[in-house]
Amino acid sequence: MEITEFRRAGHDLVDWMADYLNDVERLPVTPEVRPGDIRRSLPVSPPRTGEPAEQLMNDFGKLILPGMTHWGHPGFFAYFPSNASPPSMLAEMLTAAMGAQCMSWQTSPAATELEQVTMEWLRQMLGLPEGFTGVIQDTSSTATLVALLTARERATGFSAAIHGLQGPGQPLTVYASRERHSSVDKAVRLAGYGIESLRLIDLDDAYAMRPEALEAAITADVAQGMRPAAVVATTGTTGSTAIDPLRAIGEICRRHGVWLHVDASYAGSAAILPEKRWMIDGVEHADSFVFNPHKWLLVNFDCSAYFVRDVEALLRTFSASPEYLRTAHDAEVVNFRDWGIQLGRRFRALKLWWVIKSYGVEGLQAILRQHCEWAQAVAGWVSVDDRFELLAPVPLALVCFRLRPRAGEDLAAVNERNRELLARVNATRQVYLSHTVLGGRYTIRMAIGARATEARHVEEAWALIAASA
């Protein structure tokens, strides 16, 4: 593509993007396609000769767009949001234009230093204690794996283990609540603990970890000769945004010398609201903390903020400096390639910087606060409609509800009725909600957080649900 063609197509593309952002509401939020439809519409072999830019855009509009789920649609209430924003989109274009690979300070000094600055800004915005240092990871799943790898290295004495001085050692154990995210199980397996080392801790009535049960599990394991290595506490579980009690959990971890990793993937963003800081009370006991600006802080996927207290432990786990990567500045600078799994790194700090600059902390606070208020409104409508009931507290912007059981109706039947209701609502393609199962009960989840969502969309969504019921 010649630069003249790029310029023309680029201007057209930005116009298209602005129209899309204005009009996405008129598109169905989910596509009406069956598995294989899109693939069958595409050539099986690559084109032998190049095609003009118009052709690329035409094919995108004709073949791809109709097969997209629109996460930025104001009727998107499924899963957790992944709420992009205009300044973030522009920054992603700049990042793409420069195409820098930000593995070391030397390979793009501004990328490294901006990452340090924006992560410190985030630390202040969330009210995380001083002494936490941040690094951007691609996703929370990766950050949790990084945490469990570091915890394992620390528990086995770092280089002692590398040089085989440790012998077979004690079996290590990891703890998380029954409502933990599946990425914890994945990380336990990938980090080499073995899935049998993962202890699932019982829940209280609000689906949060019971600290007494954690203490009992750790004590029992120690008595059996195990070495408890890590606890993963969840601030805002994926099922219902349950908040594990960090202070009590943290005190147990301190007492037993166990690494505490806090998975606040979704809820962490809400800590920019002073009135939600109670969620992370006790976080000063944590060794690591992750949250996803790519979920609820208007930063395009992907951008996961990982904070760690003992940077030395992280570096001892991940640093590797072969000759071809050494630079003259290594002693004075941070090389983020040593702070995680991958070598190559995208320039993710730029979009984070632009989002924070463009909205300001107060602008971001106002948006999140509104989402939480609308969720309270939905919770109120659920409560006053006697066909429905809430299934979990609503501390943030996720509402978990279902149709109440009828007299004499068994669990399977009421679950089936709720499954049908969700299918009917989603079949309109005006809104998209998802589900989970809480305590055996089929649960409809309505997560408010798309940037384009306004009060009227929330009202219309509830009206649709109520009418469908």
Tell me which residues touch ligand PLP (CB under 6 A).
80, 139-141, 181, 183, 234, 237-238, 263, 265-266, 292, 304
What burial letters (b/e) apply to 320-348, b meaning 16+ CB within 10 Å?
A: eeeeebeeeeeeebbbbbbbbeeeebbbb
- What is the nearest approach in angstroms of ligand PLP to the Cβ of residue 378? 19
Residue number, 307 or 462, with CB nearest to ligand PLP: 307
- What is the nearest approach in angstroms of ligand PLP to the Cβ of residue 467? 30
Residue number, 105 or 259, with CB nearest to ligand PLP: 259
- What is the nearest approach in angstroms of ligand PLP to the Cβ of residue 229? 19
- How far is Cα 60 from Cα 15, in angstroms, rounded to an integer? 15
Residue 77 identity:
F
Tokens in use for 389? 């009931």
- How far is Cα 121 from Cα 275, in angstroms, rounded to an integer? 19
- What is the nearest approach in angstroms of ligand PLP to the Cβ of residue 234? 5
Residue number, 118 or 234, with CB nearest to ligand PLP: 234
- What is the nearest approach in angstroms of ligand PLP to the Cβ of residue 7? 35
Element (H, E) at 259: strand 259-263
Residue number, 238 or 418, with CB nearest to ligand PLP: 238
Which among 276, 469, 282, 272 is positioned nearest to 375, based on CA atoms?
Answer: 276
Residue number, 183 or 335, with CB nearest to ligand PLP: 183
Angle between helices 140-155 and 311-318 (to 10 degrees): 90
- What is the nearest approach in angstroms of ligand PLP to the Cβ of residue 449? 12
- What is the nearest approach in angstroms of ligand PLP to the Cβ of residue 328? 35
Three-state secondary structure call for residue 262: strand
Residue number, 238 or 415, with CB nearest to ligand PLP: 238
Residue number, 133 or 141, with CB nearest to ligand PLP: 141
Residue number, 116 or 304, with CB nearest to ligand PLP: 304
- What is the nearest approach in angstroms of ligand PLP to the Cβ of residue 237? 6
CA 385, distance to chain mean position in Å, is 32
- How far is Cα 116 from Cα 122, in angstroms, rounded to an integer? 10
DSSP state, residue 35: T
DSSP secondary structure letters along 367-399: HHHHHHHHHHHHHHHHHHSTTEEE-S--SSSEE
DSSP secondary structure letters along 310-357: -HHHHHHHH----GGG--TTTTTS--GGGGSS-SS----HHHHHHHHH
